[in-house]
């Protein structure tokens, strides 16, 4: 069978949906990175994929992704008891009362930045949002950071996300950024343990520095740094969704009034539609732990199994008119664990589903309302979102000018 790695790199988000369309049955059998791979999609596939008796992670993630996006030794790469104990730390830090504090830190950073956008100059919303989020999440996480250090940190966190699915210069930028930031945060963790730096009680810094793994040991400082980055990097990545939200408000301005008017349930529905509609993670992957059968088709032990996130979020059986941006589809809709999967599916505590989903929704909801409360011009620019580029984003980063508060 032909190895499809090159097609994957060239076709981006369309690659797996295309392989599934070409397949005779419910499984797209293909080869990537020299390995057999099986592509699946749909709520039943989510149940199947997130069953630990079927799929493991530690042998599945390519080095390219570990060296850029997640880090070596990250929670993403663990299975079984090791995963559960490490995941519990994330779930406790990232859910509950802490979310309001994070939103508070971040909206304050937005308000300060937005005040500086007035006066006719142009700003690139993606870059601004990344800096705002990096500042908000670092303060919240208890990581000491001067204002002057924020732009460099934001650029490094963005680079780590931007470079995970490519082999060119973006990849090398991501590796360099990761190396720099793991060293910085590893040093900080050591200082906290030695008592030279105080980590605020209940902060992510304190939780990671003092966390004990399933073997009862503290994390190696480098792994602790990896996991701190696994809090501040994806939070900063909400900038992608802020840029997509601006794009949506530009294309479908009829949604601005409801957001501006503070309709909370509409704002929440808008964030879900942004997460469903716009491309971010194309798929998630694991490895078959034994010979498996999926809807009558054989998946040999050791195959890669890929769950088609982009495909499922645009499946017309789940989302009528999937290529229409319509936040109202989420108003009054109960979201199940297996249908909307931009951040993975299944159970958060027991499986690999993203523990930052509540944070993502809370931050985005607060920021899109603030964005809608601004008046601004959108100068001519290339705001194309290429589905060949992973991760996708409006090419221009979404430039706005003549910014004024409308409230
Ligand atoms: C896992 C997407 C925001 C922390 C994941 C996964 C996806 C994802 C697709 C993999 C699920 C799987 O392997 O099955 C996103 C997107 C985000 C986002 C699109 C929005 C920008 C966040 C935030 C945090 C976070 C804000 C933390 C503050 C994590 C962690 C994992 C994870 C720690 C690993 C979970 C595990 O392996 O058990 N995310 N995420 N993410 N995410 Fe997010």
pLDDT at residue 255 greater than cutoff 90: yes
State in Å: Cα 327 to ligand 1 middle. Answer: 22
Give the dihedral sign, CA 91/95/101/106.
positive
Segment 9-44, tens digit of pLDDT: 778 999 999 999 999 899 999 999 889 999 999 999
Q: How high is the mean pLDDT of the chain?
A: 95
Q: Which atom of ligand 1 is nearest to the CA of 360?
A: 26
pLDDT surpasses 80 at 150: yes
Determine the distance separating the centroid of ligand 1 and the alpha carbon of 234, expressed in angstroms: 7
Classify 5-405 by CATH class.
Answer: mainly alpha
CB of 280 closer than 6 angstroms to any ligand 1 atom: yes
SS3 294: strand
pLDDT confidence of residue 8 = 76
Asked whether residue 290 carries a pLDDT value surpassing 80, the answer given is yes
pLDDT at 375: 96
Ligand 1 geometric centre to CA of 348 (Å): 10
Lowest mean pLDDT among 28-32, 233-237, 326-330: 28-32
Burial annotation 286-320 (CB, 10 A radius, 16+ → b, else e): bbbbeebebeeeebeeebbbbbbbbbbbbbeebbe
| Residue 136 near residue 238 (C-beta atoms within 8 A) | no
Domain boundaries of the chain, sorted by first residue = 5-405
Q: Which residues are annotated as a binding site for heme?
A: 354
Does 355 sit in the ligand 1 pocket, CB within 6 Å?
yes
Instruction: Report pLDDT for 5.
Output: 77
Q: Which atom of ligand 1 is nearest to the CA of 237?
A: 21
Model confidence at 2: pLDDT above 80: no
Question: Could you tell me what percentage of the chain is helix, strand and coil, using 3-state DSSP and rounding each to the nearest 5?
Answer: 50, 10, 35
DSSP classification of residue 290: S
Q: 98-117 and 125-141 helices cross at what angle (nearest 10)?
A: 140
**In the prediction, which pLDDT does 10 show?**
76
Of all protein residues, whose CA lies closest to atom 13 belonging to ligand 1? Answer: 352
DSSP class per residue in 207-269: HHHH-B-TTSPBPPHHHHHHHHHHHHHHHHTHHHHHHHHHHHHHH-GGGHHHHHTT-HHHHHH
Side-chain-side CA neighbours of residue 107 (13 Å): 16
Distance from residue 194's CA to the centre of ligand 1 (Å): 30
**Is pTM, for the whole model, over 0.95?**
yes
The candidate with the shortest Cα–Cα distance to 125, out of 145, 110, 140, is 110
Output the six-digit token pair for 326: 């319509």
Question: Which pLDDT score is estimated for 4?
Answer: 77
What sign for the dihedral angle of Cα 286, 291, 293, 296? positive
């Amino acid at each position: 069978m032909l190895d499809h790695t090159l097609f994957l790199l060239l076709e981006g988000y369309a690659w797996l949906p295309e392989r599934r369309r070409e397949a005779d049955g419910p499984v797209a059998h293909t080869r990537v990175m020299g390995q057999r791979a099986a592509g699946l999609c749909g709520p039943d596939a989510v149940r199947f994929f997130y069953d630990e008796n079927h799929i493991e992670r530690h042998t599945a993630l390519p080095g390219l992704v570990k060296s850029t996006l997640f880090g070596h030794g990250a929670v993403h790469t663990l299975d079984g008891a090791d995963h559960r104990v490490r995941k519990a730390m994330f779930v406790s830090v990232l859910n509950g009362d802490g979310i309001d504090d994070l939103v508070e830190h971040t909206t304050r950073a937005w308000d300060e930045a937005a005040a500086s956008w007035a006066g006719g100059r142009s700003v690139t919303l993606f870059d601004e949002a990344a800096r705002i989020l990096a500042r908000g999440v670092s303060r919240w996480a208890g990581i000491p950071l001067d204002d002057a250090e924020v732009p460099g940190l934001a650029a490094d966190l963005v680079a780590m996300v931007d470079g995970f699915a490519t082999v060119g210069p973006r990849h090398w930028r991501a590796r360099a950024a990761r190396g720099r930031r793991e060293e910085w945060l590893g040093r900080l963790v050591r200082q906290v343990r030695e008592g030279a730096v105080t980590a605020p009680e209940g902060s992510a810094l304190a939780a990671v520095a003092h966390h004990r793994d399933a073997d009862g040991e503290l994390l190696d400082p480098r792994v602790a740094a990896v996991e701190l980055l696994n809090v501040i990097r994806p939070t900063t990545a909400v900038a992608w969704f802020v840029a997509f939200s601006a794009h949506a408000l530009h294309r479908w301005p009829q949604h601005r009034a409801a957001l501006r008017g503070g309709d909370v349930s509409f704002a929440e529905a808008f964030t879900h539609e942004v997460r469903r509609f716009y491309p971010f993670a194309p798929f998630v992957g694991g490895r078959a732990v034994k010979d498996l059968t999926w809807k009558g088709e054989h998946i040999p032990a050791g195959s890669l199994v890929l769950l088609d996130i982009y495909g499922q979020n645009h499946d017309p059986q789940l989302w009528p008119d999937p290529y229409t941006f319509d936040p109202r589809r989420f108003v009054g809709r109960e979201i199940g664990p297996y249908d909307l999967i931009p951040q993975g599916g299944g159970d958060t505590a027991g499986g690999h589903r993203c523990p930052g989903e509540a944070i993502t929704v809370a931050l985005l909801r607060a920021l899109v309302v603030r964005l809608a409360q601004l008046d601004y011009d959108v100068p001519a620019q290339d705001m194309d979102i290429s589905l060949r580029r992973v991760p996708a984003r409006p090419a221009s980063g979404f430039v706005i000018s003549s910014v004024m508060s409308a409230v």
